[in-house]
Amino acid sequence: MKVFIRNIKDTAFACDALILPAPEGKGAGYYEDIDKSLNGLISKVTASGEFAGKRNETCLLHTSGKIKPERVLLIGLGKRQELSPEKLRQAGGRAASYLRDLKIKDLALSTHLISSLNLSPADFTEGCLLADYRFLKYKKEENHNGIKKITLLTGEDLQKQVRWAGAAASAVHFTRDLVNTPSNIMTPSALVRAARSLKRVSVKVIGRSEAGRLGMGAYLSVAKGSDEPPAFIVLAYKGKNIRPVTLIGKSITFDSGGISLKPGEGMEKMKYDMAGGAAVLGVMKAVSEMKLPVHLICVLPAAENLPGGSATKPGDVVKTISGKSIEIISTDAEGRLTVADAIEYAKRFKPSAIIDIATLTGACSIAFGNEAVAMMGNDEALMEKMKRASGETSERVWQMPLFEEYRDYIKSDIADLKNTSGRSGSLVSSAYFLSEFAGDTPWVHLDIAGTAWTDKDRPYIPKGATGIGVRLLLGFLKNL
Ligand code: BES
Ligand code: MN
Ligand code: ZN
């Protein structure tokens, strides 16, 4: 979907559908001019109760040649005093999916009401863009005939905001595609190809033998049961000559649990265990396209976690780059093993901050369902910045504590650490495990196990991979 901006009257712009956002209450009053031209049609549907302006309510009307737009779509915004950028994004998402399902191609948005409420039409547009996504690669008969374009009817200069929304949404779509793609296709090598498809980004791939030479024993132990070659992917983008920020994305292309095999039910979903890595690639895509003045190093320790003749076994002891030894209690607690080596590797770049994003624990989705990313870290100021980005993007994060008592949870009798103490407290103890590798480097951990996948359609997130983290991290980098 392309976005255009034109300074022209709502009634004078020819299109398939003109979107009229309307809060609860005043009804037609918001659009007196258009209502008059339509012989009071809008007043009629509001008076009859066919359209009340409830949040995300829709009402489509044909204009029968009385004004230039072929149709008008009333989209409810809910109560005026409860409006926010997020509600606007959701209304945009709902309007776009409604019109898309009717195969309507050419849209326009009336912006003066949104602007008069001190909100930005760019947020509504972002919702439209994010919603116009379907994963149909493996459907022979269907193809994605999405919306062709939307024109914002306004005299305001929204160019910059709209460009940002467009880059963010296409990065989110890129990430969703990677995550939705099944693991027989989305292998570590496929992630390498995705990384190499990005422009203005240098990519280095460390394979099994070089990783061995570097001492990445924790990372490699996860890949041992699979014939699929692991790939430790390092991307660099330098838009400014400053100390880098490092983003690490958990990239397990399939998590069977390994020898500590998961139950069969729902195991198919474990293709989304690379959602952290995919989010990081999405961020890199948008950052490099927008040429942001940042210095980013991204690390994706990609591997497939399978049981097999040479797989790691519970009780095995492995070493990370720095030589720390880890007793592997469960081969299903594999994410932290890969991220631990990635954190140690990232420290080589002397980053100003390390952010890791990972579908790390089932406990995260038990605690928050689909509604929040769990955040932990060793630097309050950094976490405050993440909270700010969370507020702006509505990719919600919620901070959890790293009490020093959790140290006991990961004490091993025979090694420096063990990779799990079981399920009690595992959302935080997994983060505590990572903190042992971050050391003094400012570090934030984001657990996206609950938010990376949705089983139900949401206003601008169709079911499947959500692309969580992309907009959050972009917002975070933008504010730096
Ligand atoms: N990838 C899983 C976590 C996960 C579960 C993500 C459900 C998304 C949905 C992770 O590797 C894992 O298996 N974690 C275990 C750790 C346990 C063995 C300590 C868990 O949380 O059950
Ligand atoms: Mn696992
Ligand atoms: Zn996993």
Ligand 1 closest atom vs CA 262:
13
Mean pLDDT, residues 141-147: 84
Looking at residue 28, its pLDDT comes to: 61
Looking at residue 142, its pLDDT comes to: 82
Ligand 1 closest atom vs CA 255:
1
Query: In 136-177, where do the E strands start and end?
Result: 149-153
Looking at residue 144, its pLDDT comes to: 76
Question: Do 168-479 and 2-154 fall under one CATH topology?
Answer: no
- Residue 65: count other Cβ atoms within 10 Å of its Cβ: 7
pTM: 0.97
**Per-residue confidence band for 64, with pLDDT thresholds at 50, 70 and 90:** very high
- Contact yes or no for 275/452 (Cβ under 8 A): yes
DSSP state of 229: P
**Per-residue confidence band for 474, with pLDDT thresholds at 50, 70 and 90:** very high
CA 186 / ligand 1 centre spacing (Å) = 19
Say if residue 201's pLDDT is above 80. yes
Looking at residue 65, its pLDDT comes to: 97
Share of the chain above pLDDT 70, in %: 100
Query: What is the residue with the minimal CA distance to atom 5 of ligand 1?
Result: 362
Catalytic residue among 285, 336, 347, 418: 336
Specify whether 336 is catalytic: yes
Q: Taking Cα atoms as reference points, which of 336, 331, 392, 338 lies closest to residue 364?
A: 336
Does residue 447's CB lie within 6 angstroms of at least one atom of ligand 1? no
Does residue 361's CB lie within 6 angstroms of at least one atom of ligand 1? yes
Q: Write the Ramachandran bin of 95: left for phi over 0, alpha for psi from -120 to 50, otherwise beta.
A: alpha
Length of the chain counted residue by residue: 480
Mean pLDDT, residues 125-134: 97
Mean pLDDT, residues 319-346: 98
Looking at residue 322, its pLDDT comes to: 96
Say if residue 218's pLDDT is above 70. yes
**Domain 2-154 in CATH: superfamily?**
Leucine Aminopeptidase, subunit E, domain 1 (3.40.220.10)
- Number of helical H runs and strand E runs in the chain: 15, 20
CA 273 / ligand 3 centre spacing (Å) = 5
**Domain 168-479 in CATH: superfamily?**
Zn peptidases (3.40.630.10)
**Per-residue confidence band for 27, with pLDDT thresholds at 50, 70 and 90:** low
The pLDDT mean for the chain works out to 97
Span 232-270, pLDDT tens digits:
999 999 999 999 999 999 999 999 999 999 999 999 999
Span 349-390, pLDDT tens digits:
999 999 999 999 999 999 999 999 999 999 999 999 999 999
Q: Which residues are 18's β-sheet partners? A: 72, 108
CA distance linking residue 421 with residue 436, whole number of Å = 15
CA 288 / ligand 1 centre spacing (Å) = 32
In three-state secondary structure terms, 20 is strand
Q: Taking Cα atoms as reference points, which of 343, 341, 347, 351 lies closest to residue 321?
A: 341
Does residue 370's CB lie within 6 angstroms of at least one atom of ligand 1? no
CA distance linking residue 121 with residue 118, whole number of Å = 10
Mean pLDDT, residues 416-434: 96
- Residue 255: count other Cβ atoms within 10 Å of its Cβ: 26
* Closest listed ligand to the CA of 428: 1
Query: What is the residue with the minimal CA distance to atom 22 of ligand 1?
Result: 362
DSSP state of 461: B
Q: Where are the domains of the chain?
A: 2-154, 168-479
Catalytic residue among 36, 163, 262, 396: 262
- Residue 137: count other Cβ atoms within 10 Å of its Cβ: 12
